[in-house]
Structure 1
Amino acid sequence: MSGFRSVLVVLAGLILLIGSASATATAEPQYPVPYDLFVQDSVRDPYGSAAGSNDWNCVPSVAHPEPVVLLHGLGANRFNMFTTISPLLANEGYCVFALTFGENASLPAPFDSVGGLGRLDDSAAEVGEFVERVRTATGAQKVSIVGVSEGTLVGSYYVKYLGGARVVDKFVSLGPAWRGTLGTGPNGDGQWILDLAPDDARTVIPFCAGCPQGFPASDFLAKLWAGGESGVVGPYTPTVTYTNIMTRYDQLVLPFTSGYVEALNATNIVVQDGCSLDYSEHLALAASRVATGHMLNALDPENTRPVPCVFVAPFLGG
């Protein structure tokens, strides 16, 4: 009889051990973090999600009660822009969500998975709907936003005009374009491009209705800088904390200081000011250990850590 009891004890111990290992693995999933945007899976499955994102059963932790919503840039989507940022944030214990906004459904597959092509104000409305879905699923009162390039403009419009000021706490921008880009015309403001099609972007770029809205003289940017719901002039809203992360080698936001806008609730960071080894241009910011180090500190300012200074290759990251 004692031998039988011994067998039962051993079996019970094995069951507890297996159950404990399973629960730990489920509670703290760890994802590989490739500091490289060109991950093969994002090409094979353009309609997928980056590792660590869009787990609709995710419960926000006490340490990180606010889910993070990721907003991609022009020509990207919820997968290929966040192959680094999404698993990095998930490993830190955040609930991470990302959408593809501004797709052009008239394009053939897989090009219909390309985002950021629609009008920026329409994309901002998509972001608003998505944020409410995130809040409903997680029970969170507020979210934080990490926007890249065009995603900064779309996210800011949502905050200023579509109710986001109530539910967004922190707004981290990589390669922001608050003053627009391509200010290289005869007047230095891009007006020469807008004069070709002042009201209808499709006559200039048939598949990208939102592209000219990012030019400095566009009506969209004029509205973004107007008072908005808060009455404050500029791209910010006073109830939100902003962090702008820029690179001197940006080849798409011209000049890179378009994203450098001072305010009491804004911090401006040029990655090369703290690390001359970071040669990231516009795209590599989203796969840079330096830029993402600043991002983590911006999202959790009470638990900051030293930002690494490592070599970051243009276009590739590192």
Structure 2
Amino acid sequence: MRIRATVRTLFAAAAVAALTLAGHVAPAAASGLDAPPRGANDWSCKPDSAHPEPVVLVNGTFKLMRENWATLSPKLKKAGYCVFAFNYGRMATDPIADSAGELRDFVAAVRAATGAAKVDLVGHSQGGMMPRYYIKFLGGADQVDDLVGIVPSNHGTANPLAPLIGKAFCPACIDQQTGSELLTKLNAGTETPEGPDYTVVTTRYDEVVVPYTSALLDGPKEYVTNVVLQDRCPLDPFMHDQATKDPVVAQWVLNALDRVGPADPDFQPRCLSL
């Protein structure tokens, strides 16, 4: 049942993306595609001493910022952060290296507007992995304080749909296949260059990035923390697509952003009551 649901979900997302990229979105819908989520893109926001780094939210593949961050963006804003989000790479389907260049430019704009020396990055799926290209190859190591990846595709996916969709219209899907040229380059040598702190939050029920352990990063515990939701909250039901809307995920994100270093591996979030 879960596999069939996953196939339907991925093909539905692919169909929407295909129509969007082909220019077949209705005008009324298209006019709102660049609308930010609540709490994001107040370009007059200035970070305070308690929250010195603005937070940049990075979408997953086939995602738009308004939906992807509808829950987490206002929570981060309420917690005191300056929050920014952007759409990139034709619904994040362009090659990863190109999208990383867009992220670099957006971070530069955020830093210029806020006066911050560094930013924190919180990304979903591709958005948790792609910033590592910016960090490793495009100068981001000196400009990022925290990278928090939510179900990130750090070592790719063995999902058989990735190459099918990728060949049709999604170079980023090809890049996110296990063993791809992009991921081989990204993960060669150190996976976590010094500079930022890295937190990975994933779920045992990830049906898109498979196996779920491919999200996890290697690196010193001083600046790398890997979190599997069910290790602390065994009944947490969240899968890949809606992970950014999980209240437990939000607690891990805030824990990582609010402290020096990555998320505390001993942190105990408040689990969902089912």
TM-score band by shorter chain is 0.7 to 0.9
Match of 1:80 in 2: 67
Q: How does 1:64-75 map to 2 (within 5 A)?
A: 64-75=51-62
Q: How many residues align?
A: 240
Match of 1:134 in 2: 110
Provide the rounded CA distance (Å) in 2 between the counterparts of 1:182 and 1:311. 32
Unaligned runs of 5+ in 2: 1-28
Provide the rounded CA distance (Å) in 2 between the counterparts of 1:122 and 1:223. 15
Provide the rounded CA distance (Å) in 2 between the counterparts of 1:301 and 1:138. 21
Q: Of 32, 46, 57, which aligns to 1:45?
A: 32
Conserved in 2, the CA contact under 8 Å of 1:243 and 1:268?
Answer: yes
Q: Of 161, 176, 180, which aligns to 1:218?
A: 180
Name whichever structure is richer in helix by fraction: 2
SS in 1 for 2:175: helix
Q: Does 1:244 align with 2:200?
A: yes
Deviates more, 1:42-51 or 1:155-164: 42-51
Conserved in 1, the CA contact under 8 Å of 2:192 and 2:218?
Answer: no
SS in 1 for 2:195: coil
Match of 1:281 in 2: 239
SS in 2 for 1:79: helix
Provide the rounded CA distance (Å) in 1 between the counterparts of 2:211 and 2:31. 34
Q: How does 1:155-304 map to 2 (within 5 A)?
A: 155-182=131-158, 193=163, 204-205=167-168, 207-226=169-188, 233-264=189-220, 265-301=223-259
1:134 positional shift: 0.2
RMSD, matched Cα: 2.3
Sequence identity percentage: 38
Provide the rounded CA distance (Å) in 2 between the counterparts of 1:306 and 1:89. 19
SS in 2 for 1:308: coil
SS in 2 for 1:267: strand
Seen in structure 2, the aligned counterparts of structure 1 residues 252 and 223 have a Cα distance that, compared at 3 Å, is: same
1:43 positional shift: 9.7
Q: Of 80, 89, 92, which aligns to 1:116?
A: 92
Provide the rounded CA distance (Å) in 2 between the counterparts of 1:159 and 1:57. 26
When the two structures are superposed, what TM-score results if normalisation uses the length of structure 2? 0.82
Q: Which letter does structure 1 place at the counterpart of 2:137?
A: Y
Give CA deviations for 1:234-288 in whole Å, capped at 9, x if unaligned. Answer: 3311111101001000000000000122311210101111112210000221001
Conserved in 2, the CA contact under 8 Å of 1:69 and 1:143?
Answer: yes
Provide the rounded CA distance (Å) in 1 between the counterparts of 2:103 and 2:126. 13
Provide the rounded CA distance (Å) in 2 between the counterparts of 1:98 and 1:70. 5
Give CA deviations for 1:98-141 in whole Å, capped at 9, x if unaligned. Answer: 111111xxxxxxxxxxx111111000000000000000000000
Conserved in 2, the CA contact under 8 Å of 1:173 and 1:245?
Answer: yes
Give CA deviations for 1:13-69 in whole Å, capped at 9, x if unaligned. Answer: xxxxxxxxxxxxxxxxxxxxxxxxxxxxx9993320000000000010110010001
Q: How does 1:301-312 map to 2 (within 5 A)?
A: 301=259, 307-311=269-273
Provide the rounded CA distance (Å) in 1 between the counterparts of 2:243 and 2:204. 11
Seen in structure 2, the aligned counterparts of structure 1 residues 101 and 66 have a Cα distance that, compared at 3 Å, is: same
Deviates more, 1:167-176 or 1:45-54: 45-54
